[in-house]
């Protein structure tokens, strides 16, 4: 008799535990998972060198000289939240031309020494200003400008536009080449400005890191 009552009680307890377990499972199934907060991820800009331009202007006492350089490559990664940046944009120093053969030969041989220093590089390390996920942003990009084998700190004002999977950027700034140790192009008749003006028109593809 005692065994029968014990077995009956055990069956009732088992049914109670099964009932409670089913209620708990239903509650878990009906409760939505908590929302996961994500912060903006890193953005990578790949340069399309064929669709980008580097133009330069050098004033002098006789006339203003205009010229170009070809861009070789570029890839920059930055975090819109913190402003940190890394990567580089690279121009081909040997491609510089101004439309005057003798002047260009002097530029490459005596000033740029492009046979020895074949690349001009800008390596950003910080972006100041709010980078909009879509549309235009006015920014200041800080980094190191490598010219003629030496690095110099430089801040470049940039107008940037992000649009889906593409980007565009423009910048105008001065490079004080005499202050940075390059030779002067001055002659007896011609006195050149101590800084050259650079105009960049850049574009390429954009990749956004997937938030975890």
Same domain, 97 and 63: yes
For 4-54, write each residue's pLDDT tens digit.
454 455 545 544 444 444 444 443 333 343 333 334 589 999 999 999 999
Segments forming the whole domain that contains residue 2: 1-31
Percent of the chain at pLDDT exceeding 70: 80
Same domain, 69 and 145: yes
Same domain, 97 and 136: yes
Residue 159 maps to a domain:
yes
For 187-204, write each residue's pLDDT tens digit.
888 899 999 999 999 999
For the cut 90, the answer to whether the pLDDT of residue 108 exceeds it is yes
Residue 36 maps to a domain:
no
Spell out the long-range contacts of 59-62 with Cβ–Cβ below 8 A and sequence spacing 24 or more.
Answer: 59/192, 59/193, 60/190, 60/191, 60/192, 60/193, 61/189, 61/190, 61/191, 62/189, 62/190
For 87-101, write each residue's pLDDT tens digit.
999 999 999 999 999
For 125-134, write each residue's pLDDT tens digit.
999 999 999 9
For 149-158, write each residue's pLDDT tens digit.
999 999 999 9
Q: What is the pLDDT of residue 14?
A: 46
Same domain, 196 and 108: yes
**pTM confidence score:** 0.79
């Amino acid at each position: 008799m005692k065994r029968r009552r014990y077995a009956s009680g055990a069956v009732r307890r088992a049914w109670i535990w099964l009932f409670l377990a089913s209620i708990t499972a239903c509650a878990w199934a009906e409760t939505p998972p908590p929302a996961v907060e994500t912060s903006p991820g890193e953005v990578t800009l790949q340069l399309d060198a064929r669709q980008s331009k580097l133009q330069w202007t050098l004033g002098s006492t006789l006339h203003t000289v205009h010229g170009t350089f070809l861009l070789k490559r570029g890839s920059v990664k930055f975090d819109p939240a913190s402003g940190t940046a890394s990567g580089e944009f690279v121009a081909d120093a040997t491609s510089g031309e101004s439309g005057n053969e003798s002047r260009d030969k002097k530029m490459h041989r005596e000033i740029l020494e492009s046979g020895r220093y074949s690349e001009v590089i800008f390596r950003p390390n910080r972006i100041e200003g709010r980078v909009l996920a879509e549309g235009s942003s006015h920014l200041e990009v800080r980094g190191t400008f490598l010219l003629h084998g030496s690095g110099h700190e430089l801040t470049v004002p940039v107008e940037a536009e992000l649009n889906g999977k593409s980007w565009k950027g423009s910048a105008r700034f001065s490079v004080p080449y005499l202050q940075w140790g390059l030779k002067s192009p001055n002659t007896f008749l011609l006195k050149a400005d101590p800084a050259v003006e650079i105009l960049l028109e850049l574009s390429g593809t954009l990749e956004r890191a997937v938030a975890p």
